[in-house]
């Protein structure tokens, strides 16, 4: 099978009947790039930017962030690099943010909620991202979105940063794609409205499973109750995919479920456009895609 996987390097991610699925990688720091390149990842579908914040004793500067984003963008050589804005809180605590201790951190002040509450922290990261956009095909993605107003506020923050950079004569790509993670049930229910505001969706199935099934992703005792194959979750994915496609935008999956080969036929039946997985899962996924026939795939798993 090692031989078989090696033979997948350089092959296209298309089914036997010609449906293309972009196979991208999830990374947690620029150090993961070696593995992305070795496994022939066709883009970065989720760059978790938390590492910069977790690794330092104080807020990372614009320059530090810019260097990290630019490094990944340049290494991907024009292929898409989706960088997620800060997603701390909940399981990822950073002392210098001085966040209050919460009873239910998964439902507390985390991710985009922190960024919208702290415009200066958000602005610094957005400036670094836009500056890096001049050196590769960067896309910006916002985590934990639950409401339309949040996306509008994110877009306004992006516009302000672009205006600043323009005034300062600093290069950036004004057409940088903006997307959101779909990882709350609220976002699923209003996906039709959200799709009007962004260029793409990426489903975070880890959190979407947690919030849909009311099962803490950190709790090891839940066993089979934490079931990412639950029809409720698969129907949520289908609803989101339909809303995306009706609005003419693309949809990917960047949660762990994306690498679950037993669900590949279900994803193909929904028309999922991109799967972002850990680098070592790229070639097995490619092999499975290349053996599939999309038009014969069904949605039978959406019923119990």
Task: Return the number of the residue (220 or 303) whose C-beta is nearest ligand PEP.
Answer: 220
> Of these, 13, 150, 177, 183, which contacts ligand PEP (CB under 6 A)?
183
Q: Give the length of the chain.
A: 304
176 close to 133: Cβ distance less than 8 angstroms:
yes
Question: In terms of C-beta density within 10 A (0-12 exposed, 13-18 middle, 19 or more buried), how is residue 108 classed?
Answer: middle
> Of these, 205, 240, 266, 278, which contacts ligand PEP (CB under 6 A)?
205
Cα distance between residue 275 and residue 251, in whole Å: 9
User: 253 forms bridges with which residues in the sheet?
Assistant: 203, 275
Least distance (Å) between residue 92 CB and ligand PEP: 8
Q: Is 207 among the residues that bind ligand PEP (CB under 6 A)?
A: yes
Q: Quick one: which segment of 120-128, 157-165, 203-211, 224-232 binds ligand PEP (CB under 6 A)?
A: 203-211
Q: Quick one: which segment of 53-61, 73-81, 131-139, 199-207 binds ligand PEP (CB under 6 A)?
A: 199-207
Residues 28-67, one symbol each (x = binds ligand PEP by CB under 6 A, - = not), give ------------------x-x-------------------
Q: Is 50 among the residues that bind Mg ion (CB under 5 A)?
A: no
Nearest to 92 by CA among 48, 128, 58, 124: 48
Nearest to 89 by CA among 109, 103, 107: 109
Q: Is 204 among the residues that bind Mg ion (CB under 5 A)?
A: yes
The number of beta carbons lying within 10 Å of the beta carbon of residue 222 is 14
Q: Applying CB under 5 A, which residues contact Mg ion?
A: 183, 204, 207
């Amino acid at each position: 099978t090692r031989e078989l996987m090696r033979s997948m390097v350089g092959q296209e991610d298309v089914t036997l009947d010609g449906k293309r699925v972009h196979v991208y990688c999830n990374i947690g720091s620029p150090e993961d790039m070696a593995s992305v390149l070795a496994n022939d990842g066709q883009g970065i579908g989720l760059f978790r930017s938390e590492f910069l914040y977790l690794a330092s004793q104080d807020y990372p500067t614009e320059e530090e962030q810019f260097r990290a984003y630019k490094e990944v963008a340049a290494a991907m050589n024009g292929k898409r690099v989706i960088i997620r804005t800060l997603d701390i809180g909940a399981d990822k605590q950073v002392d210098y943010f001085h966040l209050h201790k919460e009873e239910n951190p998964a439902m507390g002040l985390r991710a985009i909620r922190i960024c919208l509450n702290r415009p200066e922290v958000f602005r610094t990261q957005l400036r670094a991202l836009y500056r890096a956009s001049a050196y590769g095909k960067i896309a910006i993605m916002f985590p934990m979105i639950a409401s339309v107003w949040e996306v509008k506020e994110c877009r306004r923050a992006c516009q302000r940063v672009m205006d600043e950079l323009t005034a300062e004569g600093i290069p950036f790509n004004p057409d940088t794609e903006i997307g959101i993670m779909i990882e709350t049930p609220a976002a699923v229910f209003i996906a039709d409205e959200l799709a009007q505001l962004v260029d793409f969706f990426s489903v975070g199935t880890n959190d979407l499973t947690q919030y849909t099934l009311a099962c803490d992703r950190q709790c090891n005792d839940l066993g089979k109750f934490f079931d990412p194959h639950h029809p409720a979750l698969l129907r949520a994915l289908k609803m989101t995919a339909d809303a995306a496609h009706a609005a003419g935008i693309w949809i990917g999956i960047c949660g762990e479920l994306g690498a679950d080969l037993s669900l590949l036929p279900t994803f193909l039946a929904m028309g999922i456009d991109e799967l972002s997985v850990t680098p070592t899962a790229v070639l097995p996924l490619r092999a499975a895609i290349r053996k599939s026939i999309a038009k014969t795939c069904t949605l039978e798993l959406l019923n119990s």
